[in-house]
Amino acid sequence: MTNYSDICIIGAGIGGLTCATRLINAGLGRHLRIRVFDVNGFVGGRIQSRKIDEEVAELGAARYSPQLHPHFQELMQDSGLPHAVYPFTDVVSQEREQQELKETLLSLQPMVKEHPQESFLDFLSHYLGADEAIRILEATGYDALQLPIVTAAMAYDIIKKHPETQNCTENAGNEWRYATDGYGELLEQLKRQAQAAGVEFRLEHRLLSLEKSGADHLLAFSHQGEIQMQRAHHVILAIPPSAMMGLNMDFPATWSPFQYDSLPLFKGFLTFEKKWFECMGLGDKMLMANNPLRKIYFKSDKYLLFYTDSKSATYWRDSVEQGEEIYLERVRSHLEQALPLNGQPLPPIQSHFYKHWPHGVEFYLEPEAKHPTALVHPSGIISCSDAYTSHCGWMEGSLISAHHACELLLERFKPLPDEPGCDDTLAAPAAESA
């Protein structure tokens, strides 16, 4: 085994896997050694599928909209994997709040342009008063909309691009879909496609640092407690901004004039000893809760899921840290408050699991400015992430950014006018022994 790669891709999420398959489809795999590294022992990053009772449970990304996410839709179509209508655009809420939410949002929309800098909370408070503003914000199910960095225009954009809230906007007709067998199969398919063309995967490798070394880059990884060095001629970092900040690459200062931030997400899954919610008419419905459960989804008669962001995600992380009993006690009591159980206790829980994502959604600040969809370091290293696009927080953004990263790399392999060959990297440097 040598420690030299012509192209080294760090990150085997959907962004890194897309880079690998795109580069081999462009013919680079025939001549060049391409390697993909990931700190995890599996591919997928923020996409992780499980099965509960033959029904898919997505710990991370779950749904896409053909209208909003055309690249991802195409990827799913090409994969031939089964997909179906994602049912959770039909919201059941406490106290008829969804109708009020819709009427309020539609009536205030024309005023948004008069408040370009104001937070959504201040905007709503201006017209409705502080208490009503909070009530309306809570009815959206997304805590992030209460953050001071979210302007009214941003909030309207977020609301119209989410399945649970789009009904309050002009996007009400958008369709949503999900992979019925889980996205895990899509990721494995991309991995197999890359491997078949010679791409090598090195999992459980955490990139620690990079430095320029002549015409190459020297990368230091930690792998099973040891430091391993790798040399690469081209590097794509398909990792999000929070991971970029952990490297010695002075991110973002030497990469981009933008600043980046992230929000935590938390999903909790529960199964029950008896099937009970389908007969209450809740099967494949979503309930908006005025408590830290926020959005509760009832997947057919198989499982219940709650999905939260920002302060509610932090509440659940803290609950978990206090121990499983405390976590489950809080889940039970908030469910009993939110569900129409007529004073009955919650039926016994059979099993549960959860996933906290400390950096679930990553994004750039100053959203009104146009961010390049991939970044290039002065040393030539390319970086891609959904966080660089207007589709931050969506798989679509990862695809758009990965496509741009590949275009930038492929430019380097184009023959110059009057030159017969490609970039000198095609004559690969002598390989070094590991």
Ligand X SMILES: Cc1cc2nc3c(=O)[nH]c(=O)nc-3n(C[C@H](O)[C@H](O)[C@H](O)COP(=O)(O)OP(=O)(O)OC[C@H]3O[C@@H](n4cnc5c(N)ncnc54)[C@H](O)[C@@H]3O)c2cc1C
> Residue numbers of the site for ligand X (CB under 6 A)?
10-16, 37-40, 45-47, 60-64, 206-207, 238-240, 243, 265, 267, 357, 360, 385-386, 393-398
- Beta carbon of residue 429, minimum distance to ligand X (angstroms, whole number): 24
- Beta carbon of residue 345, minimum distance to ligand X (angstroms, whole number): 29
- Residue in the structure block whose two tokens are 């440097």: 429
- Residue in the structure block whose two tokens are 């099973």: 224
In contact, 346 and 339? CB cutoff 8 Å: yes
Name the residue among 103, 63, 136, 100 with its Cα closest to residue 297: 63
In contact, 21 and 248? CB cutoff 8 Å: no
Q: Please report, for residues 28, 97, 182, the alpha-carbon distance to residue 56 in angstroms, rounded to integers and kept in the order given.
A: 35, 30, 6
Closer to ligand X at the Cβ: 73 or 146?
Answer: 73
- Beta carbon of residue 189, minimum distance to ligand X (angstroms, whole number): 15
- Beta carbon of residue 36, minimum distance to ligand X (angstroms, whole number): 9
Closer to ligand X at the Cβ: 115 or 359?
Answer: 359
- Beta carbon of residue 280, minimum distance to ligand X (angstroms, whole number): 25
Give φ, ψ of 234 to 5 degrees.
Answer: -125, 145
d(CA 58, CA 269): 10
- Residue in the structure block whose two tokens are 């709040």: 97
Name the residue among 280, 356, 291, 286 with its Cα closest to residue 317: 356
d(CA 292, CA 285): 18
Please tell me whether residue 267 adopts helix, strand or coil conformation. strand
* Other Cβ atoms within 10 Å of 368 Cβ, number: 9
Closer to ligand X at the Cβ: 235 or 339?
Answer: 235
Closer to ligand X at the Cβ: 6 or 386?
Answer: 386
Closer to ligand X at the Cβ: 135 or 267?
Answer: 267
In contact, 69 and 396? CB cutoff 8 Å: yes
* Other Cβ atoms within 10 Å of 154 Cβ, number: 19
Can you name the residues that pair with 212 across neighbouring β-strands? 217
Pair of tokens at residue 183: 């996205």
Closer to ligand X at the Cβ: 202 or 302?
Answer: 202
Closer to ligand X at the Cβ: 125 or 241?
Answer: 241
- Beta carbon of residue 88, minimum distance to ligand X (angstroms, whole number): 10
Closer to ligand X at the Cβ: 305 or 331?
Answer: 305
- Beta carbon of residue 122, minimum distance to ligand X (angstroms, whole number): 28
- Beta carbon of residue 157, minimum distance to ligand X (angstroms, whole number): 16
User: What are the E-state strand segments in 141-195?
Assistant: 177-179
